[in-house]
Amino acid sequence: MATEELGTESKRAVASGMNSIQGGKLCPPENNAFDLDLLTLDQAKSWTEKGYFILRGIVDPALCAEMTDRAIALFSDAEINAETSISGHHMGKNGTIAVEEAARIDSGDAPDMRMSKLYNLHRVEPFKSFARDPQVVNAMRAILGPDVAVFNSQYIFKNPGVWGQPWHQDSLYFTFDRVPQVGVWLATSRATVQNGCLFVAPGSHLEPIHEHVPDARPGANFGYVEVVDYDFSTSEAVTMEAGDVLIFHSFLMHMSNDNNADERRSALVYHYGHADTQILGGGQKSATVDFMRV
């Protein structure tokens, strides 16, 4: 069987496995809020009706630039000093996992032009401090309750020419006993329609987890799957400036545009959940899951 066919079969198997565990799961409405009085009226209304809201300008753009420089340094170190490297995935000695853009592996480009994602940052400064930002933690407690933890962190680079990620729901990837989880998306550069901002489907957080099929684009990043059985005609672009933070429900359907601009779009993305969350069926913990109370 050709290598491309093996890759296609592998992607189908991954999608099928996730669908079999998570497909059809609902988030009970009573799980979506703990004490929304901790939020502003507009934030609470947007969270309840749309599944997301934005905290504008809560991080200094200078700190955003510092985070980007630190992420590039950690990515380079993970490549050079990797304990294991497989198909553009490099396991750093400090626990970070550096992932190259699939279409740019072995391209000879500089690390910052090949970088797609860098995982496991929330125990490293300056990222650790942001995980405990008072405004972010207040939002998490309003939604989830007093005992919360950040369990997943990733720095995302979308360089000029890089493809976006198709429509998906993050909870597909989280085989946990408690729902929802909450995404925290810090724009460390501006995010525009041209450079690949997120789009969201308002209200889709009230949907079950839909079937996800493999991203059919040749050369798409491994693990990219998409929802194809939902009407996205009412989707909204989430344009942001460096320092803005998007808070979003893990069942919310979202995607990102291709970067058709001449500037990079970057973001620090965390996921939070209940601190006592367990993996379903006592399954094996993913290498990108590490619960840290905040």
Q: Compute CA distances 207 → 33, 150, 227, whole Å.
A: 16, 24, 12
d(Cα 288, Cα 83) in Å, to the nearest integer? 16
Please state the rounded mean pLDDT for residues 171-186.
Answer: 96
Averaged pLDDT of the chain: 91
Contact between 215 and 94 under an 8 Å Cβ cutoff? The reply is: no
Higher model confidence: residue 222 or residue 176? Answer: 176
d(Cα 261, Cα 96) in Å, to the nearest integer? 29
Poorest-pLDDT segment among 186-190, 261-265, 285-289: 285-289
Higher model confidence: residue 233 or residue 115? Answer: 233
CATH classification of 3-293 is 1.10.10.10, yes or no? no
Directed axis angle between helix 134-144 and helix 41-50, to 10°? 50
99 burial level (CB within 10 Å; 0-12, 13-18, 19+): buried
Dihedral Cα 35, 140, 231, 256, nearest 10 deg: 160
Q: What is the largest CA-CA distance in the chain?
A: 58
All structural domains of the chain with their residue ranges: 3-293
Higher model confidence: residue 112 or residue 174? Answer: 174
For 159-204, list the strands marked E by DSSP. 182-187, 198-200
- Tens of pLDDT, residue by residue over 255-272, are 999 999 999 999 999 999
Please state the rounded mean pLDDT for residues 151-172.
Answer: 95
Q: What angle do CA 270, 185, 231 make, to 5 degrees?
A: 110
Cross-strand pairs, 286: none
- Tens of pLDDT, residue by residue over 83-115, are 787 778 888 878 899 998 876 777 667 777 888
Higher model confidence: residue 109 or residue 38? Answer: 38
